[in-house]
Amino acid sequence: MPTVYLGTIAHLTADPFVEPNALEIIEYGALWVDEKGKIIEYGKRSDILPKALEASIEDFKNAWIIPGLIDGHIHFPQYYATAAYGGQLLDWLVQSILPAETALANPAFAHDAAYRFVKHLLSCGTTTALVFGSQFHHANVSLFEAAKEYGLRLIAGATLMDRRGEGIPDSLLQTTQQALADAETLISFCRNEPLLHYAITPRYALSCTDGMMQMCAGLLHDYPETYLQTHINENRGEIEAITGHFKQHKDYLDVYDHYGLVTNRTVLAHNIHANDREMAHIAEAGCAVCHCPSSNLYLGSGLFPLTRHIKYGINIVLGTDIGAGTSFSIWRNLSDTYKIQQLQRLSLDAPHLLYLATLGGAKALRLDHETGNFATSKSADFFVLNPLEDNYLGERLSHCDSLKQRLFCLMHLASERHIEATFVGGRRVYGM
């Protein structure tokens, strides 16, 4: 049966970095969804309800109905590794993160962690996530099964490492033959699952041998439905290590380009310290870039140059980057996004921030035909943000002069504890 959801609707109809009036907020709104979970129409209650006489009604009163959040970079094996001490990126990885990732070698532990991970994301209003999976195949099978069962739109793949190095546990290394077989198994699993996609995932350039990188290129060529995700230009020490090892290449991006991994199906995490050649080639190739604000602050990696990326026309998605990030909530990361750009004299308002977390993220992941806003025929992916039970937040919102100001205020003061429900494809996947 079709359903009409009532609340204050907020979404983007276009890119606010290009079109200044792209934000649409309807205070007494209605979202009309068909029995297959597709959006029929949205608008004012007075316009929608007379048309939807046979639909059931779910009234969220004055709570906000917002498109599902999109997390463009998060590490499943680091689910229990947040807030780990260890200095900057490379030291932190060896001291705190890689040892934690070995815990998923235990199938029972990995299965439990996968289901908790997926449920946690949904409880934060995240409906789509691009995930670095485990190095252990059984853990990734559990991750995909959990996403299928609970309804998360998942793009994920095994985190690939086969280059030995100081501090790298042997248990986290794969052979190219093993990695290929495991990838093809999960690619096949995803084929008839519309919410599941496979991402070829070399951890970063130094973690993979020539053979592993060639295997990644072969998968990307043979399976055009797949994505490729990796790290780039996150930390100056990392960049020095890359350029010192790959002396024959122009820069960090050139290493990936050498193997044919720089395509319009590629998502590059971080890209804080890119040079102009790299920026131009990322744009030309149609790659997307994921900005991870909380993570960048936690590791002291640097300030993401959003203005430069906009200038080059590069699509941006936001990521929590658990476990360097300290919150699983993309919504909470919006405040850090704002602050990082403030330090660079760019003031982002509510439309810009919401775009990066929803429609812009969907566009970066080439899913904007399916999700990201409330356009007709898109999947009804949304979450319900209810600040009214919070006495201070309710009082603070009452002093805002406009709905746009309220939304901006919510981006800094609301969190996952204010999320009442999450829906993917019209199916309630979190909340009573």
328, 345, 361 - which closes a domain: 328
pLDDT tens-digit map of 206-247:
999 999 999 999 999 999 999 999 999 999 999 999 999 999
Q: What CATH number is given to the structural domain containing 7? A: 2.30.40.10
Name, in order, each residue with C-beta under 8 angstroms of 311's C-beta and a sequence gap of 6 or more.
Answer: none
Residue span of the structural domain in which 152 resides? 69-328
Q: Provide mean pLDDT across the span 36-60.
A: 97
65 pLDDT more than 90: yes
- 357 lies in some domain: no
pLDDT tens digit sequence for 319-341 = 999 999 999 999 999 999 999 99
Residue 228: is it exposed, middle or buried by C-beta count within 10 angstroms (0-12/13-18/19+)? buried
Check whether residue 181 and residue 285 sit in a common domain. yes
Same domain for 145 and 175, yes or no, is: yes
Return the pLDDT at 94.
81
Give the tens place of pLDDT for each residue, 167-206: 789 999 999 999 999 999 999 999 999 999 999 999 999 9
Q: Are residues 11 and 122 in the same domain?
A: no
**Same domain membership, residue 230 and residue 165:** yes
Calpha distance 56→40 (Å, rounded): 14
Residue 85 has a pLDDT of: 85
Look up the CATH number of the domain holding residue 160: 3.20.20.140
Residue 396 has pLDDT above 90, yes or no: yes
To the nearest whole number, what is the mean pLDDT of the chain?
A: 96
How many folded domains does the chain comprise? 2
Average pLDDT over every residue of 96-123: 96
**Average pLDDT score over residue span 35-57:** 97
pLDDT band at residue 260 using 50, 70 and 90 as cut-offs:
very high
- Is residue 363 included in any domain, yes or no? no
Q: What pLDDT score was predicted for residue 166?
A: 74
Count how many residues are written for the chain.
Answer: 432
Distance of alpha carbon 85 from alpha carbon 93, whole angstroms: 10
> Same structural domain for residues 408 and 319?
no
Q: Is residue 342 part of a domain?
A: no
Quickly state the pLDDT bin for 314 (edges 50, 70, 90).
Answer: very high
Q: Are residues 216 and 312 in the same domain?
A: yes
Q: What is the pLDDT of residue 69?
A: 98
Q: At 258, which amino acid appears?
A: H
